[in-house]
């Protein structure tokens, strides 16, 4: 059993010509789970042979704009490119507030939805969704893939959640934890304990603190630095640390500097890179 992690978008709220907004594709046991849906997510999905209509579920860590920027595009595109009648609704699992955001997004596209229903005989209802809000516990158990959630700490953004995705077969269980945006906290440590990989968003406190704008410096207090994410990985005893959501964007040639900051705290494999960077994890024996 394996789990494949693809960093679809490694960017941040600042538009970048080379990095899409935060979004990660998890493929396990034939299921495709999209974690967050930042700017440009569908172009990146297409680049790896994925598509909105092939997703098994959308998982949202929190409702910050950079993580849900393309939610409307994703819902509409899935709807208009699903040609099988009575297709099941898209499961959307997120923290409390998710249902309101999804509803408001569909309302914002209400004119579009009306035009398409009027124009196509086989479209008779708005995009079907099945929104489930959680802050803790098991939220998914299907064909060998299990997902549990736990609270993270991105205050004053609240509630926020991390996901632990496990894929089991006769050979064992592989596990990946998606931390999202968070400072170090006990519930994330617990969620990540023993995971084969931890995917963590990071910002360079050392660089951001030099910025002249206070509004930019503000972000240090609710995001983990590279060292903090690596320390979380070490405390939790994870196999591989995967860094994403780089703020500021990793400058060309600076990858090893970022890796060294993590390696000072965590001695396992450290993965980072450009959009579409892929990591395959198996259960550690
Ligand atoms: Zn955030
Ligand atoms: Zn973010």
Statement: residue 76 has pLDDT above 70: yes
Give me ligand 1 centre to Cα 223, in Å: 8
Count CB atoms within 10 A of the CB of residue 255.
15
How far apart are the C-alpha atoms of 118 and 45, rounded to whole Å? Answer: 29
Its pTM surpasses 0.85: yes
Statement: residue 285 has pLDDT above 80: no
Residue with structure tokens 């070490």? 234
Q: Which residues surround ligand 2, an ion (CB under 5 A)?
A: 66, 181
Query: Strands (DSSP E) along the chain, which ranges?
Result: 2-9, 23-28, 31-35, 57-59, 90-94, 129-133, 137-142, 145-151, 161-169, 172-180, 197-203, 240-247, 270-271, 277-282
How far apart are the C-alpha atoms of 273 and 41, rounded to whole Å? Answer: 17
Give me ligand 2 centre to Cα 116, in Å: 33
pLDDT at residue 82 in the model: 93
Looking at the CA of 22, name the nearest ligand. 2
Q: Over range 227-243, report the average pLDDT.
A: 98
Give me ligand 2 centre to Cα 194, in Å: 25
Looking at the CA of 154, name the nearest ligand. 1
Q: Over range 194-220, report the average pLDDT.
A: 91
Q: Give domain limits for the chain.
A: 2-282
Homologous superfamily (CATH) for 2-282: Ribonuclease Z/Hydroxyacylglutathione hydrolase-like (3.60.15.10)
């Amino acid at each position: 059993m394996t789990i494949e992690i693809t960093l679809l978008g490694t960017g941040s709220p600042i538009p970048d010509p080379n990095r899409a907004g935060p979004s990660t594709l998890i493929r396990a046991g034939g299921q495709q789970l999209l974690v967050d849906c930042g700017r440009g997510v569908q172009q990146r999905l297409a680049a790896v042979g994925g598509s909105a209509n092939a997703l098994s579920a959308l998982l949202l860590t929190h409702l910050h704009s950079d993580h849900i920027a393309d939610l409307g595009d994703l819902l509409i595109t899935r709807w208009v490119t699903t040609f099988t009648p009575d297709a099941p609704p898209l499961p959307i699992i997120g923290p409390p507030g998710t249902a309101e955001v999804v509803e408001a997004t569909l309302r914002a596209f209400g004119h579009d939805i009306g035009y398409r229903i009027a124009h196509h005989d086989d479209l008779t209802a708005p995009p079907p969704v099945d929104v489930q809000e959680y802050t803790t516990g098991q939220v998914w158990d299907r064909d060998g893939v299990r997902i549990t959630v736990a609270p993270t700490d991105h205050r004053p953004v609240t509630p926020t959640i991390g996901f632990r995705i496990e894929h089991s077969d006769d050979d064992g269980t592989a596990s990946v934890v998606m931390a999202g945006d968070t400072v170090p906290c006990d519930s994330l440590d617990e969620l990540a304990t023993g995971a084969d990989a931890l995917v963590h968003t990071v910002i360079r406190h050392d660089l951001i603190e030099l910025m002249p704008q206070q509004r930019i410096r503000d972000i240090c207090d609710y995001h983990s630095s590279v060292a903090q994410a690596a320390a979380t990985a070490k405390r939790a005893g994870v196999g591989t640390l995967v860094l994403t959501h780089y703020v500021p964007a990793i400058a060309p040639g600076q990858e090893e500097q970022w890796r060294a900051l993590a390696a000072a705290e965590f001695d396992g494999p450290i993965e980072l890179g450009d959009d579409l960077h892929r990591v395959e994890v198996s259960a550690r024996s």
